[in-house]
Chain A
Amino acid sequence: MTTSAAPGRKFFGLVSAVGRFGFQKLRYGRSIAGQIGSMWDLLRRTVWFCVRPVGGFRKLKRQLFPLMSNVGVRSWPIVSLVSMLIGLILVLQTGHVMKRYGQIQEVPGLVALSMCRELGPLMTCILLTARVGASFTAVLGSMKINEEVLALETMAINPIGYLVSPRLLSMVFMVPCLTVFSYLVGLIGGAIASYLVYDISGAVFVEKTVFYLSMTDVVSGLGKSLVFGVLITIVCCYYGLKTEGGSMGLGRNTMVAVVTAIVVIVAADMLMTAFFTNYLLPYA
């Protein structure tokens, strides 16, 4: 009896384990769907408070300048350094392959296209996620834990309008500016490496860059950076406002916010690249 019952027990055990696993994944999926819904709601309300600011446009302007300074002015050194290095790396990585095919003069075009279409916006926004997005989560999370967010609510000052909308606007204004800056510094880095390693003069570098680069490349990169800026703000502010559980919760949410924001902007980049390469760039 026991030998015939064992396979049955094993079978039901397996079915039950598969069922449990399925339910766990379903619950996880439902939780992710719920979070996406909440982030969408946060975006909707944030945009509403950008158009109808809490306390009027004068107060919004007062809040905006320090935030823009933090997002833009204080981020440019790190964006410059990384963009310069990316420009150098691009020349070094592509140069030796292109040289093998006798196409070394095409390296500036490769660098220009890579920087403007992809690496400029992406690297700038990954850096901003780490530098600015993490600080958004940490500041808002700490305010949530210290009941400052609740205090704003009881003073009838909407926390989304007061805390998130100015942050979104500062990102929307400053991220494209930093991206343009990243293009320029990346190209300068590429030009330096091209001259030092492959003896390509500055004039040739500029000529080839102008030849290969169209306005559509520049604008598509700026469009991407704008979308990334919005995504970083919403993801990071969402996790900040959701913080609970003291310092452990704050640390966990800051980590989750940064990781989620990077994954989300890379996924959005993939979707936008597919869109631009299929619909926009062929006609450029």
Chain B
Amino acid sequence: MTVAPIIEVEHLAKSFGSVQVLSDVSFEVEQGETLCILGGSGGGKSTLLKMLIGAERPTRGKVVIDGQDTTGFGERQWNEVRGKLGVMFQGGALLNSMSIAENVALPLSYHTEHDDETIATIVKIKLHQVDLLHAADRRPSEISGGMQKRAAIARALALDPKILFYDEPSSGLDPIATSLIDQLINRLKETMGVTNVVVTHVVESVKRIADHVVMLDRGEVLVDGDLDGLMESTDPRVRQFRNGELEGPVVGTDKPEEYLRDLLM
């Protein structure tokens, strides 16, 4: 018996006016795996993430989450789907007016019937999972960037979601903090069986966490497979990105003579 994928993306396209951000993106995510959506700046990763969490509507194509086709979903239907999702935003997006514990308690107090004591206990469990129990009463502005990201993961975990989305979890972090976040992502998958969808451009992180890789460039899928598929791809764009080469076909890497021509035009 085959298990249905938890996320199915079929022929997804998105345009903003005349600008085509995603052209024809299709992939599937199996339950309990970590998918890394990889690509350079302007490749369409963040737009894809926004469509997966219902923050943007696709121009064409469909997104199926846990068997529900979200095409044409209104706010109320999306809210039902969002009960199964947790999202960690790039900057954490913690509410600055609240302490870390209050941030984690927020979804619990709005979507469960638990009393304050039970919520406080759940918050402690979630903060313990991300090793942040000691910072429960601090404000987001009083903790480091890495701690903010872990706090955001604790908040995303509050309602025990099936799928966790991470938007650039390692951006702005030092290599040790990045490793800590990667370790946490792996731990959550192993201990809680969460499906992770990670948007990133850090190849080292991808090597540590990915079961499945989708690489985007200029709105199209270059790689859809496992880590070996990314590492062994002979596509010049994939090779350039993987090796961090300055010259190549990826957008934003003009040759010196082209740069000079642009300056003088």
Q: Which residues of A approach B to under 8 Å, CB–CB?
A: 54-55, 59, 143, 146-148, 150-151, 153-158
Q: Contact at B91–A147, with CB atoms within 8 Å?
A: yes
CA distance A154 to B110 in the complex (A): 13
Q: Which residues of B approach A to under 8 Å, CB–CB?
A: 53-55, 75, 78-79, 82-83, 85, 87, 89-91, 93-96, 106-107, 109-111, 155
Nearest Cβ on chain A to B93's Cβ, whole angstroms: 4
Q: Contact at B109–A154, with CB atoms within 8 Å?
A: no
Main secondary structure of the interface of B (DSSP, over half): mixed
CA distance A158 to B76 in the complex (A): 10
Nearest Cβ on chain B to A63's Cβ, whole angstroms: 10
Nearest Cβ on chain B to A163's Cβ, whole angstroms: 10
CA distance A54 to B85 in the complex (A): 19
| B83 proximity list for chain A (CB < 8 A) | 156
| A146 proximity list for chain B (CB < 8 A) | 91, 93, 96
Minimal Cβ-Cβ distance residue in B for A158: B75
Q: Contact at A151–B110, with CB atoms within 8 Å?
A: no
Minimal Cβ-Cβ distance residue in A for B87: A154
From A55, A59, A153, give the contact of B55 (CB < 8 A).
Answer: A153
| B109 proximity list for chain A (CB < 8 A) | 55, 59
CA distance A115 to B87 in the complex (A): 52
| A55 proximity list for chain B (CB < 8 A) | 109-110
Q: Contact at B87–A156, with CB atoms within 8 Å?
A: no
Minimal Cβ-Cβ distance residue in A for B75: A158
10 A-B Cβ contacts within 8 A? Answer: A59-B110, A143-B96, A147-B93, A150-B93, A151-B95, A153-B55, A154-B82, A156-B79, A156-B110, A158-B75
| B75 proximity list for chain A (CB < 8 A) | 158
| A156 proximity list for chain B (CB < 8 A) | 78-79, 82-83, 107, 110-111
| A59 proximity list for chain B (CB < 8 A) | 109-110
